[in-house]
Amino acid sequence: MKITITKLRWSLAIALCFIFCAGSLSAEPLELKSPNGELKISIELKDKISYNISYGQDELLKNCSLQLDLQNESLGMNPKLQSKKVFTINETLKPTIPFKNATVKNNCNVLLLNFENNFSIEFRAYNDGVAYRFITRKKGEAIVLNEDFGIQFPTTYLSHLSFTGSFRSPYEHPYSHVKTTDYKENDRMTVLPVLLETDKQYKILISEADLLDYPCMFLKSTGNNGMKSAFPKYPLEFGDDGDRSLKITKEADYIAKTSGTRSFPWRFFVITKEDKQLVENDMVFKLSRPNVLGDISWVKPGQVSWDWWNATFSPYGVDFKSGINTATYKYYVDFASKFGIPYIILDEGWSKTTRDPFNANPDLNLPELIQYAKEKNVKLILWLSWLTVENNFDLFKKYSEWGISGVKIDFMNRSDQWMVNYYERVAKEAAKYKMFVDFHGAFKPAGMERAYPNILSQEGVLGLEQGGNCKPDNSIFLPFIRNAVGPMDFTPGAMINMQPEVYQAARPNNAGVGTRVNQLSMFVIFESGLQMLADNPTLYYRERECTDFITSVPVTWDETKVLYAKVGEAVVVAKRKGDKWFFGGMTNSQNRTIELSFDFLPQGKEFTLTSFEDGINADRQALDYKKKTISINSNTKLTIKMERNGGWAGSLK
């Protein structure tokens, strides 16, 4: 009996010790700081997991919540911490497709929290932001009912939001600029990314990374100076909805059915007091999984001559009847060949019907065009609706046999788990046949383009194809928000330019709002692995010196520096490819004068700067510009002036 009592007492002591130790482990303060010590995440484990984010002494986000609701349990509810691990990542990465820089410094401190019930939460603190993700180790499948991402603001912030009325979205809505205390619970939700401006001049960019086999996250108001997540449900049944879409007729009660052992998408915040860091950031790349395709030397980013915006039938002063026909596309090929543009795209109308991806319209001899383009060292890209691709998934093999280099896939307009998986299936299948993809009608990039580098661009932006609705007052936010998370198919290059109050344009004589130089600057500022020249080749021939500049601009870069940045007002960037620098600046509807320093150039050397600036009358006649050539060095201070809705562009030898 004594032995039994002793054993019971010993067992009880061990149990009490375990409970005490586990309680102590959960109760102890959990903090993670950035390598420079400025940014801090403070984590609290009670009935739920909450965290605060501060910069120095300034609290930026408070009482933020996170939770992953599975079918039979809620990960994060009454958490029991088993262990924690703190370590540092300090490495240099080399992007396979360098949209910004040939090398990326990945330096952060990591806190890995391991909980009972086979899940972990990983936090990372960078000098320019913080991130977290769930990691699960469950057997079989996991059914995710919901994910809680909740953030609270200590004071009123200004939010820059792209509202959408439903989960079916073209992701092309203009930015709305709303005080967080005015954002009501019954207001529309917003797509990511979202940008916040605090009362102390901090900027917080919110988005997600490493998004695979999971739906995109949306945000909506909590109604109490905060935001919370919203996710589209998994679609179960579909109905007919025309030639380029399907209607969802039945949804599941869950948002994802996925592997029980996996890492979930990162939720991240780029945080800075320097607006230029938003433009320069590589957060999505750093957080996303590396290339899974192996050798991708066959992926060739480049510029594209595009037909849709200028209506294909717009060439004039020619000796053929222009239209969606062989002669017109040969004209595009000749134009591309003359200016060293590697691709032309055949947009909607090239095929006999939008449902038939294998037969061209009767006016187009596609085999003849492919051969003609090959002789001119130009390759073809074909437009397709996503539904046509889904119904003809063998087209990648066939197109590869034809000699087609890539596809532009359009009108997905959804981001539920099924559709996110569709993107991945397409990228995989295209890669089998060494083809690249441009996703139009798409959500924003969220890391899939790093895993699958044959995804060269995605739309998800109010771009030039929107004509008069595409205004510089909205486009100036793109380097700080949408383009800050990945490549963007904006389709710049308008050679007819108008100020907004006199704008009147339509295909075949489409026009861009803003000045000519505003358009030129986009080729340097905006990042895209397929950068389209949207206008009519006839106009590019006529505007030769502008075309020479545009077609000299690379689409991948060795180095990116921001020389001036003010969210919503203006940006000036310098980008290097090899030993050549390119410059792009743009402003909103206000003119402004900016002094630039070239102290990043090698000392003791003279350079020739060829620049394009807004003409003296560009504030009224947006076509007006002036080309200049001057000598500069590392000591030069150059004052540039941009007229309203204007820009500045140049290159350095």
Helix (H) or strand (E) holding 55: strand 49-55
- Cβ-contact 157, 198 below 8 angstroms: yes
Give the C-alpha distances (Å, rounded to integers) separating 581 from 55, 484, 517, 526, 596: 34, 21, 17, 15, 14
Tokens of 525: 């500022």
Mean pLDDT, to the nearest integer, of 510-532?
98
Whether residues 145 and 235 share a domain: the answer is yes
| Percent of the chain clearing pLDDT 70 (strictly above) | 96
pLDDT at 613 over 70: yes
b/e sequence 553-580, b meaning 16+ C-beta within 10 Å: bbbbbbebbbbbbbbbbbbbbbbbbeee
Residue 190 in domain: yes
Is residue 142 domain-shared with residue 185, that is, in the same domain?
yes
Q: Which residues contact 501 (CB under 8 A, 6 or more apart)?
A: none
Q: Is residue 164 part of a domain?
A: yes
Q: Tell me: pLDDT of 7 over 70.
A: no
Domain edge (last residue) among 537, 556, 575: 556
Q: Is residue 486 part of a domain?
A: yes
Residue 58 CB neighbour total at 10 angstroms: 15
- The verdict on residue 352 lying in a domain is yes
Report yes or no: 497 and 511 within 8 Å, Cβ to Cβ. yes
Give the distance, in angstroms, between the CA of residue 353 and the centroid of all CA atoms in the same chain.
31
Q: Assign 93 to helix, strand or coil.
A: strand
| Residue 52 forms part of a structural domain | yes
604-625 in b/e burial notation, b at 16+ Cβ within 10 A? eeebebbbbbbbeebbeebebb
Of residues 16 and 443, more confidence is placed in: 443
Which positions are annotated as active-site residues? 410, 465
Pick from 589, 529, 553: nearest CA to 296 = 529
Tokens of 529: 């692995």
Residues 574 and 558: their CA atoms lie apart, in Å, by 11
Instruction: Give the length of the chain.
Output: 653
Give the pLDDT mean for 509-523. 98
pTM, full prediction: 0.95
Contact between 531 and 555 under an 8 Å Cβ cutoff? The reply is yes
Average of pLDDT values for 132-154?
98
Percent pLDDT > 90 in the chain is 95
Instruction: Return the C-alpha torsion angle 406, 409, 415, 421, nearest 10.
Output: -50
356-379 pLDDT, tens digit per residue, is 999 999 999 999 999 999 999 999
Q: Are residues 118 and 74 in the same domain?
A: yes
If asked whether residues 268 and 313 sit together in one domain, one would say no
pLDDT of 2 strictly over 90:
no
Burial (CB < 10 A; 0-12, 13-18, 19+), residue 42, is middle
Q: What is the mean pLDDT of residues 418-446?
A: 98
Please give the pLDDT value at position 20: 40
pLDDT, position 37: 98
Mean pLDDT, residues 33-61 taken together: 98
Angle subtended by helix axes 326-339 and 366-375, to nearest 10: 20
What is the C-alpha to C-alpha distance for residues 633 and 651, in angstroms, rounded to an integer? Answer: 13
CA 308 to centroid of chain Cα atoms: 23
330 and 475 together in one domain: yes
For the record, the structure tokens of 32 come out as 């993670």
CATH number of 449's domain: 3.20.20.70
Structural tokens at position 84: 């924690």
pLDDT of res. 211: 98
pLDDT in the model for residue 19: 40
Instruction: Tell me how many domains the chain contains.
Output: 2
Retrieve residue 600's tokens. 């990043």
d(C-alpha 397, C-alpha 243), whole Å: 22
In terms of domains, do 340 and 267 share one? no
Tell me the mean pLDDT in the region 340-361.
98
User: Is 121 a member of any domain?
Assistant: yes
**C-alpha closest to that of 67 among 134, 141, 113, 143:** 134
Indicate whether 650 belongs to any domain. Answer: no
Q: What is the mean pLDDT of the chain?
A: 95
Q: Looking at the predicted structure, is the pLDDT value of residue 271 above 90?
A: yes
Do 326 and 264 reside in the same domain of the chain? no
- Rg of the chain, C-alpha, whole Å: 26
Burial of 637 (0-12, 13-18, 19+ CB in 10 A): exposed
User: Which pLDDT band, with edges at 50, 70 and 90, does 653 fall under?
Assistant: confident
352 in the same domain as 256 = no
Q: Choose one of 258, 273, 288: the last residue of a domain.
A: 273
pLDDT of amino acid 3: 37
Check pLDDT > 70 for residue 188: yes
Q: What is the reported pLDDT for 28?
A: 64
Which of 8-17, 32-41, 144-153, 512-521 has the weakest average pLDDT? 8-17
Q: What is the pLDDT of residue 27?
A: 53
What angle in degrees, to the nearest 10, is found between the helix axes of 417-432 and 395-402? 30
Does 645 fall in a domain? no
Is the same domain home to 200 and 56?
A: yes
Separation of alpha carbons 140 and 124, rounded Å? 28
Single residue among 230, 254, 273 that ends a domain in this structure = 273
Contact 247, 238 (CB under 8 A): yes
Same domain, 170 and 93: yes
**What is the structure's pLDDT at 239?**
98
Residues 139, 237 within the same domain: yes
**Same domain? 507 vs 389:** yes
In degrees, rounded to 5, the angle at the alpha carbon of residue 602 between the alpha carbons of residues 601 and 608 is 60
What is the residue range of 494's domain? Answer: 302-556
> Which CATH number does the domain housing residue 67 bear?
2.70.98.10
For residue 245, how far is the Cα from the chain centroid? Answer: 23
Integer angstrom CA distances of residue 336 from 192, 409, 441, 615 = 35, 22, 25, 28
Residue 9, judged by CB atoms within 10 A of its CB (0-12, 13-18, 19+), counts as: exposed
Place of tokens 């691990």: 85
Q: Residues 223-245: what's their mean pLDDT?
A: 97
545: which residues sit within 8 A by CB, 6+ positions away? 627
3-state secondary structure 197-248: ECCCCCEEEEEEECCCCCCCCEEEECCCCEEEEECCCCEEEEEECCCCCEEE
For residues 405 and 220, what is the distance between their CA atoms, to the nearest angstrom? 40
Q: Which amino acid is present at 153?
A: F
Mean pLDDT of 197-206: 97
